[in-house]
Structure 1
Amino acid sequence: MRYGMNPHQAAVMTPVDRAPFTVVSGEPSYINVLDALTGWQLVREAASTFGVPAAASYKHVSPAGAALGGSVVEAYTRARDVDPKSSYGDFVAVSHPVDAELAAVLKRVVSDGIIAPGYDDGVVEILAAKKRGTYLVLQADPGFEPPAEEVREIYGLRLTQERDALPLTRDLLDDGVPDDAARDLLLGLIVARYTQSNTVVMVKDGAAIGIGAGQQSRVDCTRLAGEKAQLWWSRRSGEPLTGVSMVSDGALPFTDNVEEAHRHGVTHIAEPGGSIRSPELAAACAALGITWSATGVRLFRH
């Protein structure tokens, strides 16, 4: 590895059993690996769930954008277009092999690297030439299955937990949620699973259009996600933003989250529920015409 979290930290990468990817070109840093493996898990799960290509644009172990598409280039273009300012210098994750069309897009944008399950002929040469020949190209092993336990060592302690592999399925959502909104809520749950907590994800038409990540206050997550969603929408339409689905990785503690979500066109919310104020949240959603799904599933990631 080039270095650890920072250039003054040496780092080594050691497979537990077998490596989940091969280095095709370039040399990874510690953060490159974190972005690559987190992004790959997101797009792999999304593509498996929905049966279409998925892409994510990662920065500092959280996605700036994530989306589904009819092709791999459409998925990535939609993902990067969510928050292009934050996607500057991103690490790309795509669920399907990279073709010449996607390579042509990546050639034009500022990006640090990519992970994908394969590359069409001639594509690696195009990508490897980026960043004066230092662009990182990783090939994921689609058949790799991670260990059932995750281990982290920090300051002399070893922490071990089960890997978060709980299925995220339609039956977590309220029966009254329409199919399109259910797709968006499920995509939001997948995105939240691979985003630094606290996290709120707003989704519309198969794209995570606003991600509020890593905030200590839940309502700040909601506000940040909503502002990003509004900015995304303003580039497309002069009409009010509506039909947005919102996911929270943790229980919404107060109704201010619902009110803030409503300001940004949210009509469907999925969150763990189980809070002492959940009845108040359900009532606030009903009063504002928002469907509310208490999934019973928390998706914290640290």
Structure 2
Amino acid sequence: MSSYGDWAALSETCDADVARYLKREVSDGIIAPGYTEEALQILGAKKGGRYNVVQVDPSYRPAPTEVKDVFGISFEQGHNDFRIDREVLGNVVTRNRDVPETAQIDMIVSLITLKYTQSNSVCYVKDGQAIGVGAGQQSRIHCTRLAGGKADTWYLRQHPKVLGLRFVEGIRRANRDNAIDVYVSDEHDDVLAEGEWQKWFAERPEVLTREEKAAWIATQTGVTLGSDAFFPFGDNVERAHKSGVSYIAEPGGSIRDDNVIETADKYGIAMCFTGMRLFHH
């Protein structure tokens, strides 16, 4: 029986480098427009030959209207066919209008992620990598808090104390990563208590204190935040600022846009109104 949980999706041909990377990662399948012969050989050996490898037709176009049936009621919505590129980033509405190329790339990454993420949703990106996604929440601020917490954890994993952790010999990578995740959280005693730390570490680490975590997170800058619908209040920008956000891409169109822009100006954040609502279900 096949598993259909975690998949890798590529927009270009899968080569041997990507296949070798996926070979050591936990996933159930891959979908791509093409594969090199070497890539197919590598992927064919994953999971004892039971790894799902699917080739998609790049020319396929879905129906313009999506239909979902829920308990006999049909819901329809237009297919999200927005093209996301630099052209949607031209409307910078803040006093700070400096959006460097690296930030534009991060904005595009965030918006593409949001296009395929359950609404409500926001996405934090740094250096071309999504570092925190808050999806399917009941309000915009809940999305921003959830994703911001994930972005903070991503950055805490680079704290000198974390990089200096000494693990027991032969620990599996998944167990090591889980131990780090607990170590940087408020539940750190779960891996530091006597009789417990010996399962993970060669020597007992010092606690990463709340004050140390706050001081480290405060050094984070240059993060980009994308939102699939407008920010209704400036509180989203306030929370984003705490996680080092310097650039924001959101549709705009709230009756309180002036408050959102004012809050961004308070922190020197550059914000683009894309006019592109990615709020789909």
Instruction: Tell whether 2:28 aligns with 1:112.
Output: yes
Paired position in structure 2 for 1:7: none
Paired position in structure 1 for 2:79: 163
Instruction: Tell whether 2:121 aligns with 1:199.
Output: yes
Cα deviation, residue 122, structure 1: 4.2
Paired position in structure 2 for 1:38: none
Map 1:133-172; keep pairs closer than 5 Å: 133-172=49-88
Cα deviation, residue 263, structure 1: 0.4
Paired position in structure 2 for 1:98: 14
Distance 1:171 1:127, change over 3 A: closer
Map 1:1-302; keep pairs closer than 5 Å: 27=2, 32=4, 90-173=6-89, 174-175=91-92, 176=97, 177-236=99-158, 240-302=219-281
Q: Which amino acid aligns with 2:140?
A: R
* Partner SS, residue 230 of structure 1: helix
| Deviation string, structure 1 residues 75-115 (Cα, Å, up to 9, x no partner) | xxxxxxxxxxxxxxx21112222222222222222211111
* Partner SS, residue 166 of structure 1: coil
* Partner SS, residue 137 of structure 1: strand
TM-score, normalised to structure 1, is 0.66
* Partner SS, residue 298 of structure 1: coil
Q: Which amino acid aligns with 1:191?
A: T
Higher strand share: 1
Identity %: 49
Cα deviation, residue 272, structure 1: 1.9
Cα deviation, residue 205, structure 1: 1.7
- What is the root-mean-square deviation in Å for CA atoms of aligned residues? 2.1
TM-score, normalised to structure 2, is 0.70
* CA distance in 2: counterparts of 1:245 and 1:103, whole angstroms: 29
* CA distance in 2: counterparts of 1:128 and 1:275, whole angstroms: 50
Cα deviation, residue 276, structure 1: 2.0
Task: Tell me which structure has the larger Cα radius of gyration.
Answer: 2
Q: What is the number of equivalent residue pairs in this alignment?
A: 218
* CA distance in 2: counterparts of 1:204 and 1:211, whole angstroms: 12
* Partner SS, residue 151 of structure 1: strand
Q: Which amino acid aligns with 2:278?
A: L
Distance 1:128 1:191, change over 3 A: same
Q: Which amino acid aligns with 1:227?
A: G
Q: Which amino acid aligns with 1:99?
A: D
Q: Which amino acid aligns with 1:274?
A: G
Cα deviation, residue 261, structure 1: 0.3
Cα deviation, residue 216, structure 1: 1.3
* CA distance in 1: counterparts of 2:45 and 2:85, whole angstroms: 41
Paired position in structure 1 for 2:196: none
* Partner SS, residue 111 of structure 1: coil
